[in-house]
Amino acid sequence: MLYIEGKNVIAEVILNSNAKQLNKVFDYEIPQTLVTKVKIGTRVFVPFANRKQLEEGFVVNIKQTSEYKVKQLLSIDENECIDKNNINLAKWMAKRYFCNISDCIKLMLPPGTTTKIIKNRIKEKQVNFVYLKKEIEEIEQDIENKKIKSEKQIRAIKFLKENDGALTTELKDFADVSKSILNTLEKNGYIEIVEKQMERNPFYNKKIEPDKKLELNKEQQNAYDIINEAIEDNFNSEFLLFGVTGSRKNRSIFATNRKGIKK
């Protein structure tokens, strides 16, 4: 899309909301400072109604005019964006499964980034990895010929050889070398330092309690004892469990003892 300086550009935004009445687009003017950064799929923050806090949403279309009196979107998250094809897929999913478009968009986001509490989102983390750049035979030849004399440099090279690369922080700690040592090795072409993105941990802000052994009631215990006896006697028996639908009959009995699963 061609942007003309001084002309209004309008973003159609789907708010991050589960409310059915908000499952529609809202027009917001894109300020000139952001007009080249906002595209379809960009995560944006906008004022909505009389709420004090900004609402989060995603741009699903960009156009030149709006029939409404619109507010400006105030900021964007440059690190979070999904492409136009995924936006179109989200629209199709919402129509096909009778749900909000925003719910479908969230399915396409990386784990740990969908919570509305911004501070709890797992951020991208860039870290530096170190790898040997030259063939190890050539490096060992330089060590033998005293071209590499520093014990710390040799120690760093040995660690990288044994571990097929390492984080810079790990290399410094385990090989007991400083940043200047790594800089010298990099300058001389023996190693390369590569910036990589760490995987997100979607459970970072979640406290997960381990499952506890379930306590069976009298009827469940009786059923379990009968089934367990058949297992112990190696009988190939079938059992039909009766109970209220949705009462997790199988889970209640077999989760207490894994014998049935193991055999």
**pLDDT-based confidence at 157, cuts 50/70/90?**
very high
- In this structure, is residue 240 part of a structural domain? yes
- In this structure, is residue 4 part of a structural domain? no
Task: Note down the domain range covering 151.
Answer: 125-198
Give the count of domains, the chain: 3
Listed residue (239, 251, 186) closest to 213, CA to CA: 251
- In this structure, is residue 177 part of a structural domain? yes
Residues 226 and 189 in one domain: no
Contact 199, 112 (CB under 8 A): no
Residues 141 and 230 in one domain: no
- In this structure, is residue 212 part of a structural domain? no
- In this structure, is residue 152 part of a structural domain? yes
Give me the CATH number covering residue 83.
Answer: 3.40.1440.60
Residues 20 and 90 in one domain: yes
Residues 54 and 90 in one domain: yes
Q: Please report the pLDDT score of residue 223 as a whole number.
A: 81
**pLDDT-based confidence at 156, cuts 50/70/90?**
very high
- In this structure, is residue 257 part of a structural domain? yes
Alpha-carbon distance of 44 to 102, in angstroms, equals 13
Q: Please report the pLDDT score of residue 263 as a whole number.
A: 44
> In 10 A of CB 100, how many CB atoms?
20
Residues 138 and 103 in one domain: no
Residues 87 and 40 in one domain: yes
Residues 105 and 14 in one domain: yes
pTM here? 0.46
For the stretch 197-232, pLDDT in tens is 665 555 555 566 777 777 778 887 888 888 888 877
Angle, to 10 degrees, between the axis of helix 179-187 and the axis of helix 151-163? Answer: 80
Q: Please report the pLDDT score of residue 151 as a whole number.
A: 92
Residues 137 and 51 in one domain: no
Residues 97 and 17 in one domain: yes
For the stretch 161-185, pLDDT in tens is 888 888 888 888 888 899 999 999 9
What ranges make up the beta strands (E) of 82-190?
125-132, 166-167
Residues 95 and 182 in one domain: no
Alpha-carbon distance of 5 to 165, in angstroms, equals 49
Residues 23 and 98 in one domain: yes
- In this structure, is residue 211 part of a structural domain? no
**3-class DSSP assignment, residue 210:** coil
Q: Please report the pLDDT score of residue 81 as a whole number.
A: 72
- In this structure, is residue 78 part of a structural domain? yes
Of the ranges 132-141, 204-213, 242-251, the best mean pLDDT one: 132-141
Residues 57 and 138 in one domain: no
